[in-house]
Amino acid sequence: MNKRKVCVVITARPSYARIRTALEALRRREDVELQIILTASTLLERYGRVEQVIQQDGFEINWRIHSIVEGENLVVQAKSTAIGLAETATALENLKPDVVVSIADRFETIATAIAASYMNIPLAHVQGGEVTGNIDDRVRHAVTKLADLHLVASKGARDFVISMGENPESVYLTGCPSVDIAAQVLKNPELPPGFLQNYGGVGADFDLREGYIVVMQHPVTTEYENAYQQAEATLEAISRLGVRTLWFWPNVDAGSDATSKAIRVWRERGKLPNVHFFRNVPPEDFYRILINSRGIAGNSSVAIRECSWLGVPAVNIGNRQISRERGPNVIDVPHDSEAIMAAIRKHLENGKYPQAPIYGDGTAGEKIARVLAEEPLLLKHARR
């Protein structure tokens, strides 16, 4: 039996959570040869040992692409994409997959899509059709127009992809694999003992059972020149609230140097005595952090996506996720410390929210694997 070669390109730490249960389902299939390419920040130590996490989960890495140019501004973002494009083409020429999978909407993602498209390799896009209100929309929708198969996470996303002129027969409503992990963790939500010691990081040491919030704030690419001030607004709010906080380092985006600098300045000045900082935590324990938290603040899609499923209170700051479908757990605020504090206080008083299954029912991985393994792999022009 000829196995179908399914090549998944993972570019960043959130991308792994967005695809892991699909990788597990593909690995179990006897009719699939799973190939994994790691690129961009997955190979950089300072963004949390993503490569090691993937290997610890038992996956073989078939190709590694070092593509990130130092600087973390708009110019190096474009240059990193160009390097990723060139090197991905080399990887695909050697691996010769039957289908390539590109995940979500980060700037590195479009390199995968262009390489596969120009090499006439069918391209499957996971999580197209979503609308956030920032530069990610351009990348996401461009990848949608390059893709041959669309594996979308919500009904709204499916409708949007079809409205872009894509053949409805190529659009599959699968849900989001990260919700699969969250659903599994709900069956065993307790945090392991000694969590802060096990995962390291820096900052305050406190008993997580006493309550805490989570912060995940990334720079907004179209507003990267304001990244320092935007980070300061959140830092001021957290400092003044005095609430115990687990803060995760930003992604590798234009402006992340400024966001990181603001964090370091506030920490070194002793203004964050109740904050512990992490670079990365494996998906299961990350969701345990969310489940056991009193809420999340920042601008990560996890606050909109997984936290809607988990009912975790979320304060969405700024424009990075402003147009994404959301549940009742989300309060939107500008980059203003007073507004951020007021929203956090409101959530702390309210507590957990009802589950909102906008992004799937916990079975996305199996659905995605079935499509990739069984559906016809036709280039877009062949479907018309």
| Residue 123 backbone dihedrals phi, psi, to 5 degrees | -115, 125
Q: Which of 374, 301, 321, 367 is nearest to 12 (CA)?
A: 301
Q: Is the pLDDT of residue 384 over 70?
A: no
What is the rounded CA–CA span in Å between residue 291 and residue 307?
8
User: Per DSSP, which regions of 110-198 are E strands?
Assistant: 123-126, 149-152, 171-173
Q: Please, which residues have CB within 8 angstroms of residue 45's CB and are 6 or more apart in sequence? A: none
Q: Is the pLDDT of residue 383 over 70?
A: no
Q: Is the pLDDT of residue 87 over 60?
A: yes
* pLDDT greater at residue 40 or residue 90: 90
Instruction: Report the range of poorest mean pLDDT among 32-46, 73-87, 250-264, 313-327.
Output: 250-264
Sequence spans of domains, the chain? 4-176+360-383, 185-350
pLDDT above 90 covers a percentage of the chain that reads 73
Q: Is the pLDDT of residue 135 over 80?
A: no
**What is the mean pLDDT of the segment spanning 242-253?**
88
Predicted pLDDT of residue 308: 94
Query: What's the pLDDT band for 250 if we cut at 50, 70, 90?
Result: confident
Mean of pLDDT over the chain: 92
Predicted pLDDT of residue 231: 94
pLDDT 10s digits, 146-189: 999 999 999 999 999 999 999 999 999 999 999 999 999 999 99
From residue 80, give the alpha-carbon distance in Å to each of 33, 41, 237. 29, 11, 34
Dihedral-angle region of residue 134 (phi above 0 means left; psi in -120 to 50 means alpha; beta otherwise): beta
Q: How many residues does the chain have?
A: 384
Cβ neighbour number for residue 157 with a 10 Å cutoff: 26
What is the rounded CA–CA span in Å between residue 219 and residue 299?
9
What is the rounded CA–CA span in Å between residue 225 and residue 128?
28
Predicted pLDDT of residue 137: 86
Predicted pLDDT of residue 48: 66
Q: Is the pLDDT of residue 16 over 70?
A: yes
pLDDT 10s digits, 301-345: 999 999 999 999 999 999 888 888 999 999 999 999 999 999 999
Query: What's the pLDDT band for 225 if we cut at 50, 70, 90?
Result: confident
CA dihedral of residues 171, 172, 178, 179 (deg, nearest 10): 130
Residues pairing with 123 in the sheet = 100
Exposure class string for 70-87: b at 16+ Cβ within 10 A, else e: eebbbebbeebbebbbeb
Predicted pLDDT of residue 126: 97
CB 339 within 8 A of CB 239: no
Q: Is the pLDDT of residue 116 over 80?
A: yes
CATH number of the domain located at residue range(s) 185-350 in this protein: 3.40.50.2000
Predicted pLDDT of residue 378: 86
Q: Could you give the 3-state DSSP secondary structure of residue 39?
A: strand
Query: What's the pLDDT band for 382 if we cut at 50, 70, 90?
Result: low
Domain 4-176+360-383: homologous superfamily in CATH: Glycogen Phosphorylase B; (3.40.50.2000)
**Cα 109-113-117 angle, rounded to 5 deg:** 170
Query: What's the pLDDT band for 69 if we cut at 50, 70, 90?
Result: confident
User: Per DSSP, which regions of the chain are E strands?
Assistant: 4-10, 32-39, 63-65, 99-103, 123-126, 149-152, 171-173, 202-203, 213-216, 245-248, 275-278, 296-298, 314-317, 330-333
What is the rounded CA–CA span in Å between residue 79 and residue 89?
16
Q: Is the pLDDT of residue 224 over 60?
A: yes
Q: Identify the burial level of 228 via C-beta atoms within 10 angstroms of its C-beta, where 0-12 means exposed, 13-18 middle and 19 or more buried.
A: middle
Predicted pLDDT of residue 374: 97
